């Protein structure tokens, strides 16, 4: 249940922030380091990856791949966090407190850990145990005695086999 809640919460946050890359791109353009080219295009591209990664976490077939992609995205956008800290660049509506910029730095690692947890990259749930088989069933399987024709008992089947030999 905890993993499901984490997965849903992280997926929702990535999808919401990804959408905001398109609805309010100026906010993200404003925090990009000046040495990077194509600010608006990179904002749109990261928004696409955030949406796809967030949605990908929700489906078992894409969950691990999406988690790896989101981890790569967090690494790729980390320079923007460094730029914000070094140059005291604040998001629109963010309190102008330097300690908040410092807080963003380790929080990215906590968020990365949560992405890995939600994406089953670590602390993976163990598969359901297989039903134990009896020692007799294993012996029968080795001898081929567990083969049975539909509608025949084992005795009837062995009579049929002995007649054919």
Q: Any idea what DSSP says for residue 51?
A: H
Of all residues in the chain, what percent are helix, strand and coil, respectively (each to 5)?
A: 65, 0, 35
* Distance in angstroms (rounded) separating the CA atoms of residues 17 and 98: 23
pLDDT band at residue 156 using 50, 70 and 90 as cut-offs: low
pLDDT, tens digit (0-9, with 9 covering 90-100), for 2-15: 889 999 999 999 99
Burial 44-74 (b: 16+ CB within 10 A, else e): bebbebbbbbbebbbeeebbbebbbbbbebb
pLDDT band at residue 78 using 50, 70 and 90 as cut-offs: very high
Q: Any idea what DSSP says for residue 128?
A: P
pLDDT band at residue 133 using 50, 70 and 90 as cut-offs: low
pLDDT band at residue 52 using 50, 70 and 90 as cut-offs: very high
pLDDT, tens digit (0-9, with 9 covering 90-100), for 79-126: 999 999 998 888 877 788 888 889 989 999 999 999 999 999 987 766
């Amino acid at each position: 249940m905890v993993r499901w809640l984490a997965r849903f919460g992280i997926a929702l946050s990535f999808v919401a922030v990804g959408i905001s890359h398109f609805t309010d791109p100026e906010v993200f353009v404003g925090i990009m380091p000046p040495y990077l080219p194509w600010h608006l295009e990179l904002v749109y591209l990261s928004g696409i990856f955030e949406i796809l990664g967030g949605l990908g976490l929700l489906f078992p077939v894409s969950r691990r791949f999406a988690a790896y992609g989101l981890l790569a995205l967090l690494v790729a956008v980390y320079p923007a966090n460094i730029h914000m800290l070094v140059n005291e660049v604040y998001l629109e509506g963010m309190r102008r407190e330097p300690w908040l910029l410092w807080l963003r730095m380790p929080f990215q690692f906590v968020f990365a850990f949560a992405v890995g947890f939600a994406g089953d990259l670590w602390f993976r749930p163990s598969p359901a145990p297989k039903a134990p088989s009896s020692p007799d069933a294993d012996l029968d399987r080795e001898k081929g005695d567990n083969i049975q024709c539909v509608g025949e008992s084992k005795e009837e089947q062995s009579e049929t086999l002995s007649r054919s030999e």
